[in-house]
Structure 1
Amino acid sequence: MSSGGSERLDPEPIAFGQRLQILRTRRGMTREVLAGLVGKSYEWVKSLEAGRLKAPGLDTILALAEALRVRDLADLVGHHKAHVDLFAGPGHARLPEVRAAINTLPLTTTAEAPPAAHLQARLAHAWAARHKAPDHREVVGALLPDLIRDAQLAVRQADSALDRRAAQAILSEVYSLSQFFLAYQPDSALLWRVVERGVVAAQESEDPHALGVAAWLSAQAHRDSGPGHYDAADAVTMAVLEYLDPQLPDAGDDLLAIAGALQFEAGYTAARRGDTGSAWSYWDRARAMAERLPGDYYHPVTSFSRTIMGAHATTVAVELHAGGESVRQAARAEADVIRSRPRRARHRIEQARAYQLDGQPDVALATLAQAHEAAPETIRWNGYAKRIVLEEIESRVPARRSRAAELAQRIGLLAA
C-alpha cells in the first residue's frame, strides 16, 4: 500500500442496507422495534435492508444511527470520511457565542476593563445562577461571553504585578465556569484550550484556591478522555495536593474544600481503574476533610461539603461496578440535601446507574425522571443517562419500553 495517504477501498463495499441489517442484528433488535423508533414501517426497514430502497436522507440516517446506538456514523454509512461521534449530540445554542469569546483575544480593543471587585461579583452571581437553574447551560452560556472578554481585558490592563495576579485568578475561575458549560459539547479542542488556559492563569495568579479549582477540572478532563489519560489525571491531582498540604493546617474553608474535592478526584480515578482499596481510601480522606468544614458550608464551584460525601460514595461504588454496594450507597445518599440543581441531577444519574447495575431498570428509569425534573440540561447532555434510556427502549417489557421512550422524548433523544 502506498504511504502517500490514499484512501483504502474495500474490494466489495458493503451496501447501506447490509450494514443496517448487521448493526440491527448485533443489537438484537427486531425490524418492528427499529421501525417504531424511527417512525417507519416494518416493510420499509425490510426493503431498505434488502437494497430495494436507496439510502435515506441525512435526518433518517441519523435517526437510525441513534436508535441502533451507533457510536461512529461511518459504521453505518460505510464512508471512511464520515467519522462523527454520535454520542456528542448537537451543540448548545449558546456554544458559538462562547467559542467566539474564547477564541478572540482583546489585543486591539479600546474598551476599559471593569474593576476586579465588579468582575468578582459577576462571577459569584454566575456560579449562584448555575446552581439554581434547571437550564444551567442556557443561563451560564448567556453570561460567559462578556465575562470571558472582560476578564481577559483585566489581565491585559493590570497596572501592577499584584493587580495582574488578582486578575489572573479571576480569569482562571472564568475558564473553570466555561469548562462546566463546555462539558459534553461537541468541541473537545475548545474544551482543552479552556482547561490549559485555566491552569496557566491559575499558576500565574499564585492563588492556591484558583490553582486547586483549575487542577480539579483538569483532572476530570484527563480522566474523561479514557484509560490512557488516568496517569495524567493522577499527576495533576497529586502535584496540587502536595503543594496545598503545608497550607492546610491554617487554611480557610474554601481551601480545605478544594483539597477535599481533589482527594475525592483521586478516589474517582482509582475507581475507574478498578482499584477498590485506593478508591475508598481516598474517599475516606475526602470525608475527613469535609468533617473539618461547617455543617452548612457548600463550596461554590465543586459543591464539596459534608452533604456531598454520600453522593461521592455512590459514584465510587458505581465506577467499581459493585451493583449491591452501589445500590446501598445510592439509598443512603439523600439527593434533596444537595443545593445545586445540576449537581443534584448528576447524583440522580449516578443513582440510576447503580440501579441499572443491580438489575433494577424500572427504578433506574424513575430515578432518571427525577434527574430530569432537577435539571433537564444535565441529563440531556449526559452519556450515561442516554445509554440507560436507549437500552430500555429495547426492553421486552412493554410498560418499561413505553416509559423509556417517553423519557427519551423529554430529554431530546428521540423526535417528539
Structure 2
Amino acid sequence: MPNDATPDPNEEQIAFGQRMKILRDRRGMSRPTAAGLLGMSTSWVKQVERGQIGMPKLPVVLRIAELLRVRDLSDLTGDQTAPVDLFIGPGHHRLPAVRDAVNALTLGATNRQAPSPAHLAARLAKAWAARHQAPNHREVIGDLLPGLIHDAQLAVRQADTAADRRAAQAVLSEVYSLSQFFIAYQPDSALLWRVAERGMVAAQESEDPHAIGVAAWLAAQAHRDSGPAHFDAANAMTREALAFLEPALPDADDRTAAIAGALQFEAGYTAARRGETGTAWGWWDKAQATAARLPASYYHPVTSFSQAIMGAHAVTIAVELRAGGESVRQAVAADATAIPSRPRLARHRIEEARAYHLDGQQETALATLERAHEAAPETIRYNGYARRIVLEETESRIPARRQRAAVLADRLGLLAA
C-alpha cells in the first residue's frame, strides 16, 4: 500500500485517536468544529488524535460516535469483540423481500393488468395509515411494500397516455418514499440512496408539485444524515424545492402547503446542525406560519407536518443547537398527545430524552426513552441517539440508573454479543 494512502479505521492496529481523525476527515469536519460540537477545546481534540491523550471514557466516546455518525462503535474504538451498531439498526427480516422488489425489472411480458393509479393511491393511503397506527411499523409496511412497488412499476410501464403515465409516476414516487421509511437506518445504505434517487426521478417525471416536494424532503434528509460535508447539498435540495413550490402556494391544497412547511422546517434543521441559531429559528417561524394556515386536524401522511407537530419540531431545533435549557423548555411546552402517529410520537419522545440528557437530567431522559419504547419499539431500536444515551447510562455511577439503562439496553438488543 502506498505510504500516502488513507488507512482503514477497521484495521485493528490503528489507535483510537487515529481512527477518530480518519473518521472526522471522512465527514469533512474540521478539528475546531468537532471540538465545539463536543464541548471540548481544539487542543483536546488534537491531543486525542495524536495519541497524547488515551481513549476517553465511554460517555465521551459515545458523543464522538454520535458526532461522526459511526455505524458500529468498534469502527471508532477498534474493539471487534462486541460490535455495537449505533446509527444503523438491525436488519429487518423483511428487508430482503423489499430489496428484491426494488431491484426487479418489470420488462418481461405479463398478462396481468396493472392497477389504476387511483387504486394504487388508495392502497398507499391505507399503508401510510397502518404505519402511523402500528408500534411495529416496519413489520407492517415491510409486508405491504413488495406488492406496492411491483404494481406501481407495472402501472408506469402499462400507462397508455401521457396523463396516465404522469399519474402513475406520482404514485410510484410516493411508494419509493414509503420504502425509504422502511429502509432507513438498516444495513443497506446503497439501497436507501437507490430508492431516494428513483423516487426523485419518478417525481420529476410526474410533474406533480407534491410528489416533487416529498422526494426533495427525503433526499435532503439523506444528504444531511451523511454528515457535515453534505449539509450544503441538503440545503440546496431544500431551497430549490421551495423555490419550485412557491408560485403554487397561494392557491395550494393542504398537502402541497404541508410539504412546503415540511421543507421549511428541514432548512431550519440543517441550519441547527450547523449551529446557526438565528437561521434555524427563522425557518421554524416560517414553518409555523405555514402550519397555521392548515386545518387544526390536518396531518400530512408522509412528513407528519401539521399544527400538532410544530412543538416537536421546536424541541428538535433546540436539541440540535445543543441548548439544554431551551430544549427542556420546548419539551415541556410541546403537546405530545396531539401527535396521532405512534412512530412519530416515539421519535418525539427520543428528542425529548435528548433534551433532558443535554440538561443533565439523565433519570428523566431514561424515563422518556421508556415511553418512546412503549409508543413504538421499532422506532427506538433503530435510533442512534436513543441507543447512545442508553449505552452511556449503562456506565452510570448510580446503581439504580445503571440497572434501569441495562434493562432498556436489553430490550433494544444492545447487549447482544
Q: Supply the AA of the counterpart residue of 2:140.
A: V
Partner of 1:26: 55
Whether the 8 Å contact between 2:277 and 2:321 is mirrored in structure 1 is yes
Partner of 1:122: 123
| Distance of 1:205 and 1:72 partners within structure 2 | 42
- The CA deviation at 1:409 is 1.1
Partner of 2:340: 339
Partner of 2:141: 140
| Distance of 2:13 and 2:242 partners within structure 1 | 54
Partner of 1:351: 352
Q: Supply the AA of the counterpart residue of 2:320.
A: E
SS at 2:153's partner residue? helix
| Distance of 1:181 and 1:6 partners within structure 2 | 33
SS at 2:79's partner residue? helix
Deviation track 1:17-52 (CA, whole Å, cap 9, x = no partner) reads xxxxx9xx83547xxxxxxxxxxxxxxxxxxxxxxx
- The CA deviation at 1:77 is 4.3
| Distance of 2:330 and 2:144 partners within structure 1 | 36
| Distance of 1:239 and 1:5 partners within structure 2 | 37
- The CA deviation at 1:411 is 1.8
Partner of 2:272: 271
Deviation track 1:203-250 (CA, whole Å, cap 9, x = no partner) reads 000000000111111111100100000100011110110111111111
Query: In 2 relative to 1, CA 4–333 (structure 1 residues): closer, same or farther, beyond 3 Å?
Result: closer
| Distance of 1:114 and 1:87 partners within structure 2 | 37
| Distance of 2:256 and 2:7 partners within structure 1 | 53
- The CA deviation at 1:415 is 3.8
Deviation track 1:101-157 (CA, whole Å, cap 9, x = no partner) reads 001111104133112221111100000000000000000000000100110011011
Identify which of structures 1 and 2 has the higher relative contact order when contacts are C-alpha pairs closer than 8 Å and 6+ apart: 2
For the aligned residue pairs, the C-alpha RMSD in angstroms reads: 2.5
Query: In 2 relative to 1, CA 219–4 (structure 1 residues): closer, same or farther, beyond 3 Å?
Result: closer
| Distance of 2:14 and 2:285 partners within structure 1 | 54
| Distance of 1:271 and 1:300 partners within structure 2 | 25
SS at 1:76's partner residue? coil
- The CA deviation at 1:6 is 12
- The CA deviation at 1:5 is 8.7
Query: Could you tell which deviates more after superposition, 90-99 or 352-361?
Result: 90-99
Whether the 8 Å contact between 2:267 and 2:283 is mirrored in structure 1 is yes
Structure 2: 5+ residue stretches without partners: 16-50, 59-71
1:395 partnered with 2:396: yes
- The CA deviation at 1:70 is 2.6
Q: Supply the AA of the counterpart residue of 1:276.
A: T
SS at 1:72's partner residue? helix
Aligned length: 363
1:316 partnered with 2:317: yes
Alignment of 1:10-409 (within 5 A): 26-28=55-57, 70-72=73-75, 75-77=78-80, 87-110=87-110, 111-409=112-410
Whether the 8 Å contact between 1:267 and 1:316 is mirrored in structure 2 is yes
- The CA deviation at 1:73 is 7.8
Provide the TM-score with structure 2 as the length reference: 0.83
Partner of 1:45: none
Q: Supply the AA of the counterpart residue of 2:104.
A: T
Whether the 8 Å contact between 1:72 and 1:84 is mirrored in structure 2 is no
| Distance of 2:347 and 2:6 partners within structure 1 | 45
Whether the 8 Å contact between 2:342 and 2:376 is mirrored in structure 1 is yes
Q: Supply the AA of the counterpart residue of 2:92.
A: H
Provide the TM-score with structure 1 as the length reference: 0.83
- The CA deviation at 1:71 is 3.9
Query: In 2 relative to 1, CA 244–28 (structure 1 residues): closer, same or farther, beyond 3 Å?
Result: closer
Query: In 2 relative to 1, CA 13–412 (structure 1 residues): closer, same or farther, beyond 3 Å?
Result: closer
- The CA deviation at 1:334 is 1.5
Whether the 8 Å contact between 2:89 and 2:383 is mirrored in structure 1 is no
- The CA deviation at 1:4 is 12
Whether the 8 Å contact between 2:84 and 2:414 is mirrored in structure 1 is no
Whether the 8 Å contact between 1:211 and 1:240 is mirrored in structure 2 is yes
- The CA deviation at 1:410 is 1.4
Query: In 2 relative to 1, CA 323–112 (structure 1 residues): closer, same or farther, beyond 3 Å?
Result: same
Whether the 8 Å contact between 1:72 and 1:85 is mirrored in structure 2 is no
| Distance of 1:7 and 1:132 partners within structure 2 | 46
| Distance of 1:7 and 1:253 partners within structure 2 | 51
Whether the 8 Å contact between 2:294 and 2:307 is mirrored in structure 1 is yes
| Distance of 1:93 and 1:126 partners within structure 2 | 19
| Distance of 1:109 and 1:371 partners within structure 2 | 47
Query: In 2 relative to 1, CA 359–90 (structure 1 residues): closer, same or farther, beyond 3 Å?
Result: same
Q: Kindly name which structure, 1 or 2, has the bigger radius of gyration based on alpha carbons.
A: 1
Query: Could you tell which deviates more after superposition, 405-414 or 164-173?
Result: 405-414
| Distance of 1:2 and 1:132 partners within structure 2 | 55
Structure 1: 5+ residue stretches without partners: 16-21, 30-68
